[in-house]
Amino acid sequence: MTDSVVRRITWRTSDIAQVLFLGLLFFFLWRFFWMVYTALFIALIAILLAIVLHAPAKFLSRFIPFTAAFALTVATFLVSMGALMVAIIPQIFDQVSQLAGELPSAFDAASGWFSERTGIPQDAELMQTINGQVSDFLARFVPLAFNLITALVGSSAVIILAIFLAYQPEVYRNLLIRIVAPPGRPKFIQVYDEAGTSLRNWVLGKAVSMVAVGVIVWIGLMLFKIPGALALGVLAALLEFIPNLGPTIAAAPAIVAAFLISPSTALWVAVFYFVLQQVQSAVTVPLVERRAVNIPPAALLIWQLMLAVGFGILGLFVATPLLAVIAVAVRIMYVEPTEERYVNDRREGGAIAAEQRVIDPDAEVVDPRDTDTAPH
């Protein structure tokens, strides 16, 4: 019987120092990430906006020089955004003021309509509590609206960053490639190019669907004579950027505003949003999202909830593009090499088995890679 050898693991001072250093480095990197994650998410949004700016400029460069095409694209974008803000911001304040004055009566009308249809008597104390909470929310909404305007003004930094990225994307691509060590550059270039293609297809498709949804919601709410139809249409277009959750969130203020007219109008507005979402699911999702970003809906929803809980509303906006980049990187850096190694191992095993059969046809073929049957 072979005597078993007991090996004692000893820790040198240098080993302990390395472990402590790695632990401290991980801690500081983790803390640093929580300090700058907002900037990283904003940079990702700037990259997506840069894709939107670069695509039409590249198309126009077939007819005019790229510099002139890019300047025309940026000027058109800035003028459109400025005009949209001038048209929307007054409507937001008017709608808030109107909601503050008429929403309690709208809730009373909705409660009476519900009682007539169901036979359940109204609870006066409950309605008073709801009206009080709604009034408190609307009283707090005005400073939130000012904060929203401040955020829109602060978004100029995102627009400037997007302009720089869209004007010379090759410069930043080459800069990132040079940071990577030469042996890992081919894989990094593959990840960069495929992730860029996925993001470009997704963002451009989303931009088209956002404009379409915004226009359809605006026209539909104008036909229903909903106050603030333009503002609600722009809100629906912006929230269309968030898959799964965005359209549902956008429908809530429109339905509440419809209660200012009548409960039946609110019901028809809810039906309108529901039909629009079904059309989106049947048309835009297969054509835009699943072709550009092939992610199962349940996995995407779980990822959105995780980022929403961890990072707030900003996490919802970057959830899909961030998951698309991660999926491409994991596939190229881990899944494909693992499958390739597995196929190579199977081929080597088949070659070894064939060689053993040639040497001794009656002998039992043993795969050396099989740890349970391989000789020790």
Task: Per-residue pLDDT tens, the chain, 376 aa: give them.
Answer: 455 555 566 667 777 788 888 888 888 888 887 777 888 888 888 888 898 899 899 989 989 999 999 999 999 998 988 887 777 767 666 666 665 566 666 666 666 666 666 666 656 666 666 666 555 655 554 454 445 545 555 577 788 889 999 998 988 888 888 888 888 888 889 888 888 888 888 888 888 888 888 899 999 988 988 877 877 888 888 888 877 777 888 888 788 778 777 778 888 998 999 888 888 777 766 666 655 566 777 777 888 888 888 887 778 788 888 888 888 888 888 888 888 888 777 776 666 655 665 565 555 545 554 544 444 4
Is residue 175 domain-resident? no
Is residue 35 domain-resident? yes
Number of domain units in the chain? 2
Which element (helix H / strand E) includes 57? helix 13-60
Q: Which domain holds residue 35?
A: 16-167
pLDDT at 373 (0 to 100): 46
Q: How many whole angstroms separate alpha carbon 250 and alpha carbon 218?
A: 12
Q: What beta strand segments (E) does the chain contain?
A: none
Q: Do 198 and 58 sit in the same domain of this protein?
A: no
Which element (helix H / strand E) includes 369? none
pLDDT at 24 (0 to 100): 86
Q: Do 158 and 213 sit in the same domain of this protein?
A: no
Is residue 367 domain-resident? no
Q: What are the Cα distances from residue 17, in Å, to 12, 54, 286?
A: 9, 49, 54
Tokens at residue 276, please?
Answer: 């629009």
Q: Do 160 and 278 sit in the same domain of this protein?
A: no
Neighbours of 103 (CB within 10 A): 20
Q: Do 160 and 208 sit in the same domain of this protein?
A: no
Query: Apex CA 87: angle with CA 278 and CA 207, to 5°?
Result: 40
Q: Do 337 and 190 sit in the same domain of this protein?
A: yes
pLDDT at 69 (0 to 100): 92
Q: Do 193 and 150 sit in the same domain of this protein?
A: no
Tokens at residue 346, please?
Answer: 């199977």
Contact assessment for residue 206 and residue 293, using Cβ atoms and an 8 Å cutoff: no
Contact assessment for residue 216 and residue 230, using Cβ atoms and an 8 Å cutoff: no
Q: Do 158 and 98 sit in the same domain of this protein?
A: yes
pTM exceeding 0.85: no
Q: Do 93 and 128 sit in the same domain of this protein?
A: yes
pLDDT at 17 (0 to 100): 80
pLDDT at 9 (0 to 100): 61
pLDDT at 31 (0 to 100): 81
pLDDT at 357 (0 to 100): 59
Is residue 77 domain-resident? yes
Contact assessment for residue 165 and residue 50, using Cβ atoms and an 8 Å cutoff: yes
pLDDT at 82 (0 to 100): 82
Q: How many whole angstroms separate alpha carbon 368 and alpha carbon 349?
A: 8
DSSP of 296-345, one letter per residue? -HHHHHHHHHHHHHHHTHHHHHHHHHHHHHHHHHHIIIIIHHHHHHHHHH
Q: Do 135 and 195 sit in the same domain of this protein?
A: no
Neighbours of 226 (CB within 10 A): 25
Give the total residue count for the chain.
376
pLDDT at 374 (0 to 100): 45
* Ramachandran angles phi, psi of 266, nearest 5°: -60, -40
